[in-house]
Structure 1
Amino acid sequence: MNINNVINEIKFDDKGLVPAIAQDINTGKVLMLAYMNKEAVEKTLNKKIAHYYSRSRQELWKKGETSGNIQKIKGFYYDCDKDTILIKVEQVGVACHTGNYSCFFNEVLNEDKKENFQNNEDVLKELYLSITDRKNNPREGSYTNYLFREGIDKILKKVGEESAEVIIASKNESKEEMIYEISDLVYHVIVLMINQGVSIEDIKKELVKRRK
């Protein structure tokens, strides 16, 4: 890949900028829209970490430089008119400064939300993001928020209870009951992970190490 050729192909506007859309490579979620200048494109491709140009501060910035919520570049594309960039990233932490995973959290219409969740290939990641969003945006009467509010002792108690339910279901030799109880356990374990700052990526990396 010749980075200079890429930069020469892209059509920057009269201010030397081009819009860049960041998309989660694992879930397909659109995370944010920012702008890049030639230097940002160069650093993004060289370092494989997203860099943008701040129009308000008029300076280059590395995504996650202060928060640690970096974006690891997994794909880089520009559109048919060569005036918009799409980057596919592995998001570390959250993408939005509000604490939401995606900047596009103000939902107006989503008629296929349930279907998308059920058909998502990485449903555990989707569940993780959903619980994270509930933690950052509490809703009255939410069981998830109740667990976070009560804290680690309550969460651990529920993990213990659900583990016992899995054991009982297994002893009963009921596949349907096992599926139900294991699903409950997975949900509570993910709540625990989020409460303790453990990501799905952390677990994946550990499992990969164990294969060696």
Structure 2
Amino acid sequence: MKIDFSKSKDGLIPAIIQDSETKKVLMLGYMNAESLQKTLDTQKVTFFSRSKDRLWTKGEDSGNFLNLVVIKNDCDGDTLLIQAKPVGPTCHTGADTCWQEENAVNYGFISDLENTIKSRRENADTEQSYVASLFANGINKIAQKVGEEAVEVVIEAKDDNDDLFLSESADLLFHYLILLQAKGFQLNDVVNVLKKRQK
């Protein structure tokens, strides 16, 4: 890792801190060669505090450390991306991030879809919303729909029509997300089980 601290007059370079699991950006700090070395030695992210004018290990007072996972430098060698596992909130205000965002796993469109399902379950008219009507009919109906869609996926998998296979796969995933919420879970709960199985 080649880092050029000489590019700044004070020998400090920005260090972007990212949660190694959720990929959320947690904070921005500054490092010099000494703080970088201390980070590597202790495996706890350490900055050079411009306000304190000294090395500062995140969490040294609060206990909310940033445990080092990996450090990457950018193409110019003057910015660091540090992936870490936070112990508690990162921001001094008590927020998860310095941008007042929740540090939660996000699967993009799938997470948006889960939020839509939740909203329809809680707020939609059962006569106007297919999702709301499924929840109104209970867990047995939802589970039955997942079973039906799973069978359709198997049937289309044995055929050569990729469009139908993908369409049925989308239906299965959609109904499975509904079933998860009916049981009080989300997709991330299943992902966590898979992570535990990883060897």
- Normalised to the residue count of structure 2, the TM-score between the two structures is 0.55
Equivalent residue number for residue 23 of structure 1: 18
- Please tell me whether residue 117 in structure 1 is matched to residue 108 in structure 2: yes
Question: Segments of 4+ in structure 1 off by > 6 A?
Answer: none
Pairwise mapping of residues 69-88 of structure 1 onto structure 2 (< 5 A)? 69-88=64-83
Q: Is 1:21–1:30's contact at 8 Å kept on the other side of the alignment?
A: yes
Asked if residue 46 in structure 1 is aligned to residue 41 in structure 2, the reply is yes
In 2, Cα distance between equivalents of 1:28 and 1:40: 23
Q: Which structure would you say has the larger Rg?
A: 2
State the match for 2:149 in structure 1: none
Identity %: 35
The residue that corresponds to 1:97 in the other structure is: 92
The residue type paired with residue 117 of structure 1 is: G
CA distance in 1, matches of 2:49, 2:17: 15
Which residues in structure 2 correspond to 1:47-196 (within 5 Å)?
A: 47-105=42-100, 117-119=108-110, 169-170=139-140, 173-175=143-145, 180=178, 182-183=180-181, 185-186=184-185
Offset at 1:117? 3.2
RMSD after superposition: 3.9
Question: Contact (CA 8 Å) 1:170, 1:178: kept in 2 or not?
Answer: no
Secondary structure (helix, strand or coil) at the match of 1:103 reads: coil
Residue by residue, what CA displacement relative to the aligned partner does 1:114-166 show, whole Å, maximum 9, x if unpaired? Answer: x963346xx99xx9xxxxxxxxxxxxxxx9xxxxxxxxxxxxxxxxxxxxx9x
> Against the structure 1 CA distance between its residues 211 and 36, is the aligned structure 2 distance closer, same or farther, given a 3 Å change threshold?
closer
Q: What are the ranges of 5 or more consecutive residues in structure 2 without an aligned counterpart?
A: 116-121, 123-134, 147-174
Q: Across the two proteins, how many residue pairs are aligned to each other?
A: 141
Distance 1:91 1:171, change over 3 A: same
1:44 Cα offset (Å): 0.8
Distance 1:66 1:44 in 2: 16
In structure 2, C-alpha distance between the alignment counterparts of 1:72 and 1:64, rounded to whole Å = 10
Contact 1:40 1:53 in 2 (8 A): yes
Match of 1:11, as an amino acid? F
What whole-Å deviation, never above 9, does each CA across 1:37-88 have from its counterpart, x for those lacking one? 2221001112221011110111111111222221121111111221111111
Q: 1:172 to 1:79 in 2, by over 3 A?
A: closer
Q: Is the 8 A contact 2:143 2:179 kept in 1?
A: no
Change (3 A) 1:17 1:175: same
CA apart distance, 1:101: 1.4
| Pair 1:11 & 2:5 matched | yes
Contact 2:45 2:66 in 1 (8 A): yes
